[in-house]
Amino acid sequence: MAKHLDLEEQEQLDQLKHFWNTWGTLISSVLLVVAGSLAAWQGYQYWQNRQATQAAALFDAVDVAARAGDQARLTQAFGDLKSKYAGTAQAAQAGLTLAKTAADAGNPDAAKEALGWVAEHASDEGLKAIAKLRLASVLMDQKNYDEALKLVTGSVPAEFDAVFADRRGDILVLQGKRAEAVAEYTKAYKGLEEGVEYRRLVEIKLGALGVAPQGVAVAAATAPATAPVEGAK
């Protein structure tokens, strides 16, 4: 009986050796890849957390400088964020903060530079959209209507569609293009929910152009959802 068990164990051992000789190298390689991937992922997570922490500290410096009106310190902190942590939300938020401070201080060129960077480099599409809207306002103040219109034309996150249409309407009014402005304001009006204060503002703009907002509301209720706005660019 003992010999029978010994032979059985020896057979199992031989099978195990055969299996390992056949698949051992592949299994070891897979385990090494998995272990390496896990280590890399943990390292990446650590790096991301460290980046976020350091970027947050620099953004605090931006905030303090903005409150103190220290434009030089604010510009330096934003520069550090751009060079070291460009992909973080804090870098984009710092750019918006710098732009507002510069605009309030009567320095539109500095505001344009900061907003242009955010509009091009921000990792968050919403922050990019906000930067484009604000930059368009600066360009409008400088009567650079063509560049402003170009900036707010194109694909944007869905939640910004109506706001961008409203801004296009503003620019077209300044260019004397009444019909096109009405088309954009109409698009904005239809895209805003009833009861939203912003919608009331667009309604006033339409009224100033001689368009009855009630007619726009009826058109919005009866037109197919996919119907294009006549005259829209």
Give the C-alpha separation, 87 to 45, whole Å. 15
Listed residue (145, 162, 148) closest to 119, CA to CA: 148
Asked whether 131 and 92 are in contact (CB, 8 A), the reply is: yes
| pLDDT tens-digit readout, 191-232 | 999 888 999 999 999 999 999 876 665 454 445 544 444 433
Give the C-alpha separation, 136 to 142, whole Å. 10
**143 — alpha (psi -120 to 50), left (phi > 0) or beta?**
left
Asked whether 62 and 81 are in contact (CB, 8 A), the reply is: yes
Give the C-alpha separation, 173 to 150, whole Å. 15
CATH code reported for the domain at 27-151: 1.25.40.10
Q: What is the dihedral of CA 98, 82, 136, 73, to 10 degrees?
A: 20
Strands (E), the chain: none
Residue-range domain boundaries for the chain? 27-151, 152-233
Give the C-alpha separation, 145 to 148, whole Å. 5
**Cβ atoms within 10 Å of 63's Cβ, excluding its own:** 15
**Cα dihedral 115, 175, 202, 185 sign:** negative
Q: Give how far the C-alpha of residue 14 lies from the chain's centroid of Cα atoms, to the nearest Å.
A: 61
The whole-number pLDDT of residue 108 equals: 93
The pTM assigned to this predicted structure is 0.69
User: What is the percent of the chain where pLDDT is above 90?
Assistant: 45
pLDDT band at 47 (very low <50, low <70, confident <90, very high): very low
The whole-number pLDDT of residue 64 equals: 80
The whole-number pLDDT of residue 49 equals: 57
Helix (H, G, I), strand (E, B) or coil at 25: helix
